[in-house]
Amino acid sequence: MHDRLKYYKTKLSDNDFIKISEHVERKCGIRLPRQKKAMVQNRLYKRLIEIEISTFEEYVKFVFSSKGNEEVNHMIDEITTNKTDFFREIKHFNFLENIILKKQTDFKIWSAGCSTGEEPYTIAMILDKNLINYNIVASDLSEKVLDVAQKGVYKPEVVKNMQLEYLQKYFDKIEENNKELYKIKFHLKKHIKFLNINLKDQTYNISQNFDIIFFRNVLIYFNIEVQNEILTKILKHLKIGGYLFIGHSESIYNLKLPLKSVSHSVFQKINT
Name the residues that contact ligand SAM, by CB under 6 A.
28-30, 80-84, 88, 113-115, 119, 140-142, 145, 197-200, 216-218, 221, 247
DSSP structure class, residue 197: -
- Enumerate residues 6+ apart whose C-beta is below 8 A from 161: 86, 87
Residue of 43, 85, 88, 128 with catalytic role: 43
Rounded to whole angstroms, the Cα distance separating 272 from 259 reads 9
Q: Which is nearer to ligand SAM, 88 or 185 (CB)?
A: 88
* 3-class secondary-structure state, position 199: coil
Q: Which is nearer to ligand SAM, 53 or 213 (CB)?
A: 213
Rounded to whole angstroms, the Cα distance separating 136 from 124 reads 8
Within 10 A of 264 (CB to CB), how many other CB atoms are there?
11
CA atoms within 13 A on the CB side of 236: 11
Q: Which is nearer to ligand SAM, 31 or 190 (CB)?
A: 31
Rounded to whole angstroms, the Cα distance separating 111 from 120 reads 6
Residue of 16, 47, 77, 140 with catalytic role: 140
Q: Which is nearer to ligand SAM, 53 or 100 (CB)?
A: 100
Q: Which is nearer to ligand SAM, 10 or 198 (CB)?
A: 198
Minimum CB–partner distance for residue 76 and ligand SAM (Å) = 8
Task: Judge whether 135 and 108 are in contact, CB under 8 Å.
Answer: yes
Minimum CB–partner distance for residue 194 and ligand SAM (Å) = 12
Rounded to whole angstroms, the Cα distance separating 53 from 47 reads 8
Minimum CB–partner distance for residue 22 and ligand SAM (Å) = 15
Within 10 A of 141 (CB to CB), how many other CB atoms are there?
23
Minimum CB–partner distance for residue 54 and ligand SAM (Å) = 28
**Residue closest to 96 by CA, chosen among 67, 125, 76:** 125
Minimum CB–partner distance for residue 99 and ligand SAM (Å) = 20
Annotation marks residue 26 as catalytic: no
Task: Judge whether 48 and 54 are in contact, CB under 8 Å.
Answer: yes
Annotation marks residue 43 as catalytic: yes
Active site residues: 43, 140
